[in-house]
């Protein structure tokens, strides 16, 4: 088995081993994965955290020895919440986004494969923050299908990353996230609850995160705040309905 770690800000994972193929998700700095299949220029990998699979460019693969892979995955890596953070690697400075993991972090550096790398301006302090504060860090991030970073994000990537920063791992897709937690009544919604929306066929296709006063933050065009009513999301700018409400869930954190 081949193991790897992400040493770039993020790596696109594609549906097929082709540069033109759809991006289905992204791997963020410090996340680990297993290589499931190899082709000459492409590796099919599985994210250790959520089990999601996709093809990455072989040039973006950084190998981990099995012992270090096991050690990292068994421990809790600090998660960066400072957009100004960077790491000094052998290839040069790599900028990190919100939600990047810093494995084997100690006293301003990380240690990988027996080498130490300086970390600049990392911040891991979530004390005094709640998931509402974390979610608002992503405001106006552009929507990107398959995105999981502060450079571009989709609806379920957004909720997954917010929960990850707060120490709770969710699955990748909206329909998978909807299978978690406890269903709650609309009138009992609280900050941090997840709200799911469906299409005309009843399939869950969208998710957002509750804020105060029945407002919802979600990735639709950009990460934005809108109004939630009993039947769905209403655009705050023109009061038009944009999504049909399916189910509301509370995730224990």
DSSP state of 72: H
3-state secondary structure of 186: helix
Q: Which of 13, 155, 162, 243 is catalytic?
A: 155
3-state secondary structure of 157: helix
Torsional class of 236: left (φ above 0), alpha (ψ -120 to 50), beta (otherwise)? alpha
- List CB contacts of 213: < 8 A, sequence separation 6 or more: none
- List CB contacts of 133: < 8 A, sequence separation 6 or more: none
Rounded to whole angstroms, the Cα distance separating 234 from 130 reads 24
Q: Has 57 been annotated as catalytic? A: no
Residues 208-225: b if buried by 16+ CB within 10 A, e if exposed: bbbbeeebbbbbbeebbe
Q: Has 61 been annotated as catalytic? A: no
Q: Has 155 been annotated as catalytic? A: yes
Q: Which of 10, 85, 218, 243 is catalytic?
A: 218
Catalytic residue annotation: 155, 206, 218
């Amino acid at each position: 088995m081949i193991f790897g770690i992400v040493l770039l800000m993020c790596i696109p994972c594609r549906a097929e081993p082709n540069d033109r193929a759809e991006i289905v998700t992204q791997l963020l700095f410090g996340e680990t994965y297993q290589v499931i299949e190899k082709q000459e220029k492409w590796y099919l990998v599985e994210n250790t955290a959520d089990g999601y699979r996709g093809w990455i460019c072989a040039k973006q693969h950084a190998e981990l020895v099995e012992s270090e892979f096991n050690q990292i995955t068994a421990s809790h890596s600090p998660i960066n919440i400072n957009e100004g953070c960077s790491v000094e690697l052998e290839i040069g400075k790599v900028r990190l986004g919100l939600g990047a993991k810093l494995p084997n972090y100690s006293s301003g550096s990380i240690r990988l494969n027996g080498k130490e790398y300086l970390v600049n301006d990392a911040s891991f302090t979530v004390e005094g923050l709640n998931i509402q504060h974390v979610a608002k860090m992503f405001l106006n991030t552009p929507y990107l299908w398959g995105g999981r970073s502060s450079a571009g994000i989709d609806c379920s990537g957004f909720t997954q990353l917010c929960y990850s920063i707060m120490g709770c791992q969710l699955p990748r897709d909206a329909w998978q996230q909807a299978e978690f937690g406890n269903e709650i009544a609309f009138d009992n919604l609280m900050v941090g609850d997840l709200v799911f929306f469906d299409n005309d066929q009843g399939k869950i296709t969208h998710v957002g995160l509750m804020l105060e006063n029945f407002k919802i933050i979600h990735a639709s065009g950009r990460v934005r705040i809108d109004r939630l009513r009993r039947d769905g999301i209403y655009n705050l700018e023109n009061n038009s309905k944009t999504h049909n409400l399916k189910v509301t869930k509370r995730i224990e954190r």
